[in-house]
Chain A
């Protein structure tokens, strides 16, 4: 079980309010991602749930019990830290066994669970090494092993992949998703990387300055962002925003159009502009178009085969059915 409910949870450090009162429901078995730019309060929110920080107001409920003032050790949650936070003086085996030792399980049961976790996470070959002798990816696995052995009500991940290199990050991302499919335990995952959020989450919580901007599935957020902030934050490359006359034509203050929803053509189109920087990813090419008279730069995602040179004048056509409209307050107009 792992249903977590936050009611009017608030956090301030001295006079600075980091998290104004917010409500959030996390259902049992859900993979929830907190995403937002750095300093948006996502890690603080996670630490409030963990109990590593005390709330300044409100209530935290875990599985129906009021956990607001229960110390972290008694909340039945496991956490994986950005720095891994392994115990450097213990071997991998002892690291993974530590929470079980604290729970006073008998040795046979501890051994059984540790060996099982080591096998699942491919750590058996390193079981007697110390964290200092392991690579970043292996350390991350030990940290996950330490979290899963105690069979917690929920897992909390605090930017667990940000210290890994790009290739490992993709691999670990899959492993964590795989783990969630198998364990079916609630997971709360904090990241600033919207790709991680999109690929892993059942539910994304977008935060800005401690406020929840929107809660929804990855595709809901992609297809119907509630405001300019979410629209700009979800999706890569970033959505293009156009104000003025062109927006007024659609009855909006601002319109947003994603780079992948603009057709490029050499000879005809609704808008025209000059090619600036092109980023070739192989499968796709991102063109940064200037002098369109719409916005400083319009980013376009085109097929990797499309080949325009720096300085070429080209034509753009947006897909009308996926234009997002926002009012003067930045809120979505349906």
Chain B
């Protein structure tokens, strides 16, 4: 029997959903709004919602003071590079865990995930030392490797979950049909796992794009990505809210646009396997 849902109930649930959605979106909305205010209006009490003089001066000043394009380019390289490297390492790893598991596979997966439970700052000192030793401080390649390692457990877990959904019969059929391991992964497994791989790439790209702890601690100027760009406008006294907001808006805009266009893919990927 279908559940009877009254109109009243529908209205209440819809309103509640919108309320939660707006609540979650509010900080982003406020940041964007503040970026169009003057510094004085930004800290006005009571807060101003619409009745202020819209201005682009913050953007102009931010553009003048810092080289946005360089930060953006660093972000693209670091997020993209670490994601690609991660996928290259994780696909074979997830393949073996999903299709030729050993007695210890579950333990290894849990152990990998457990590394995410350690506060990042706990390994800051050793990693910094390694960076100094190998001259990796403030280099993109150093950050690509570190961010790849930081996110690798998540990539492997996600791919493992997707691969587990692929019937092993089909891979065995490929084996019977004369496919080598390389051909099996290339022509059968990967095309079937593309939705999963795509959403893993997207999510990991977003995680790497927004990662602030390592990018702030291991870069200075040369390799600094957009997180450092935002940080350079934050001041302890909170004096330049409008400029900070403008910088934040510029930093999140690319990823927001990417997320908007790929939301279908992301939702599908993240709920893949939950509903069969």
Contact = CB atoms under 8 A, between A and B. Distances in A.
Interface of A: 50-52, 71-74, 77-79, 81-83, 85-89, 98-99, 102-103, 146, 150
Given A87-B188, A88-B192, A98 B169 contact: no
B172 A52 contact: yes
Given A89-B191, A99-B177, A103-B178, A81 B172 contact: yes
A279 B180 CA distance: 53
Contacts of A98: 174, 177, 179, 187
A238 B174 CA distance: 40
Interface in B170-188: 170, 172-180, 183, 187-188
B119 interface: no
Contact of B176 (A77, A83, A87, A88): A77
B167 A52 contact: no
A89 B170 contact: no
Interface of B: 167, 169-170, 172-180, 183, 187-188, 191-192
Choose among A78, A86, A87, A150 the residue with the greatest number of B CB atoms under 10 Å from its CB: A87
A89 B170 CA distance: 11
B169 A85 contact: yes
A50 B176 contact: yes
A11 B178 CA distance: 24
Contacts of A99: 177-178
A236 to B, nearest CB: 29
Given A83-B167, A89-B192, A73 B178 contact: yes
Contacts, number: 59
17 contacts: A50-B176, A73-B175, A73-B176, A78-B177, A82-B169, A83-B169, A85-B167, A85-B170, A85-B172, A87-B188, A88-B170, A88-B192, A89-B192, A98-B187, A102-B178, A103-B178, A150-B177
Choose among A81, A83, A85 the residue with the greatest number of B CB atoms under 10 Å from its CB: A85
A89 B180 CA distance: 19
A88 B191 CA distance: 9
Given A85-B170, A87-B170, A89-B192, A71 B175 contact: yes
A102 B183 CA distance: 8
A146 B170 CA distance: 13
A146 B169 CA distance: 14
A85 B173 contact: yes
Contacts of B167: 83, 85
A134 B188 CA distance: 20
Given A87-B188, A89-B191, A72 B173 contact: no
Contacts of B170: 85-88
Contacts of A82: 169
Nearest to B180: A73
B15 to A, nearest CB: 39
Given A87-B188, A89-B191, A72 B175 contact: yes
Contact of B179 (A73, A79, A86, A146): A73
Which 6 A-B residue pairs are closest in the complex by CB-CB distance? A99-B177, A102-B178, A85-B173, A85-B169, A79-B176, A73-B178
